């Protein structure tokens, strides 16, 4: 699981995603605490962003999953509620998609002094450090990314829309794909070769083995990204020939192409990093 991909997914969670985050957080938590059970619902907000949980046979430890940005206020309200609903609680583990770090040090002191509770925070960094430690956490993180990140790939093309020198969506798309691919290419290859390989990848971005594109279609798509009045066929064919060595798949009889699975994954992760920036 690409760390940037999971980070962007966590950042995309909002106040309506409490239940979704609960599912993800539980997949991580059970690896350290075994089975969890609900011990109380959170009052005041209808439980939309958090519920309280406890490991089976251990009411001294209570979990709270929350996506609220006001994590300090949420923790203090939860501690007050636990005093009445779960007086045996001695440790509150606050699980959040937010970046917390040392921002709750004062809250920790208040919990120890006023409620005799210790506080442990599992924030965004905690999830990112553990996402690839177990197949269960990888699978859970990927399921969240499919919901929250994949839809951003197409909208990323709109980021270049503010550049006045680019007059069409095709030119904006070309610029984005060049930016996504040029940094990792062999600089000795030359900008022309790298550029046309980027344009071919852009043309093939939505293809796979079941949805291929003909050579003629690729030529047309690339031509639409470039100034009119020139014949780019030889440059496009050269790029196709080079890319069939790894980045794209080729069906000789039908003269059709698609991105390889590996190339599609790389492109997806680059989109993620681009959107995250």
Q: What is the pLDDT of residues 199-219, one digit of tens each?
A: 898 899 889 999 999 999 999
pLDDT at 49: 53
CA dist., res. 122 & res. 127, Å (int): 7
Looking at residue 260, its pLDDT comes to 94
Residue 153 and residue 268 in contact, taking contact as beta carbons nearer than 8 Å: yes
Q: What percent of the chain has pLDDT over 70?
A: 79
Which residues have CB under 8 Å from 243's CB, separation 6+?
197, 200, 201
Q: Return the higher-pLDDT residue of 91 and 190.
A: 91
pLDDT tier for residue 174 given thresholds of 50, 70 and 90: low
- Mean pLDDT across the chain, nearest whole number? 84
The pLDDT, as a whole number, for residue 46 is 39
Confidence at residue 10, expressed as pLDDT on a 0 to 100 scale: 96
Measured CA to CA, the distance from residue 171 to residue 83 in angstroms comes to 61
Distance from chain centroid for Cα 103? 24
Mean pLDDT across the stretch 29-37?
81
Backbone angles phi, psi at 224, to 5 degrees: -70, -20
pLDDT at 48 over 60: no
pLDDT at 148 over 80: yes
Give residue 185's pLDDT. Answer: 55
| Cα distance between residue 19 and residue 170, in whole Å | 39
Higher pLDDT, 179 or 56: 56
Tell me: pLDDT of 259 over 90: yes
* Strands across the sheet containing 118-122: 36-41, 51-55, 61-66, 91-96, 118-122
pLDDT at 175 over 80: no
| 164 pLDDT more than 80 | no
Residue 15's contacts (CB-CB under 8 Å, 6 or more residues apart) are: 48, 49, 67, 68
């Amino acid at each position: 699981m690409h760390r940037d991909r999971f980070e962007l997914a966590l950042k995309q969670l909002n106040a309506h995603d409490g239940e979704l985050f609960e599912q993800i957080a539980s997949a991580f938590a059970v690896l350290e605490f075994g089975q969890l059970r609900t011990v109380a619902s959170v009052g005041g907000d209808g439980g939309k962003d958090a519920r309280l949980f406890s490991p089976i046979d251990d009411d001294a430890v209570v979990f709270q999953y929350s996506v609220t940005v006001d994590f300090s206020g949420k923790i203090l309200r939860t501690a007050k509620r636990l005093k009445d609903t779960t007086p045996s609680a001695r440790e509150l583990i606050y699980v959040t998609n937010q970046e917390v770090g040392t921002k709750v040090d004062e809250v920790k002191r208040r919990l120890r002094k006023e409620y005799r509770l210790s506080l442990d925070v599992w924030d965004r960094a905690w999830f990112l450090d553990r996402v690839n430690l177990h197949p269960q956490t990888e699978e859970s993180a990927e399921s969240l990314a499919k919901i929250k990140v994949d839809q951003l790939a197409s909208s990323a093309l709109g980021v270049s829309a503010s550049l006045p020198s680019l007059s069409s969506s095709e030119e904006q798309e070309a610029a984005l794909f060049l930016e996504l691919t040029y940094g990792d290419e062999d600089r000795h290859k030359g900008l022309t070769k790298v550029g046309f390989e980027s344009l071919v990848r852009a043309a093939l971005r939505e293809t796979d083995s079941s949805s291929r594109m003909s050579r003629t279609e690729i030529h047309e798509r690339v031509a639409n990204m470039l100034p009119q009045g020139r014949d780019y066929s030889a440059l496009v064919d050269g790029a196709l020939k080079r890319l069939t060595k790894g980045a794209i798949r080729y069906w000789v009889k039908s003269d059709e192409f698609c991105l390889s699975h590996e190339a599609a994954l790389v492109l997806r992760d680059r989109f993620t990093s681009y959107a995250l920036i």
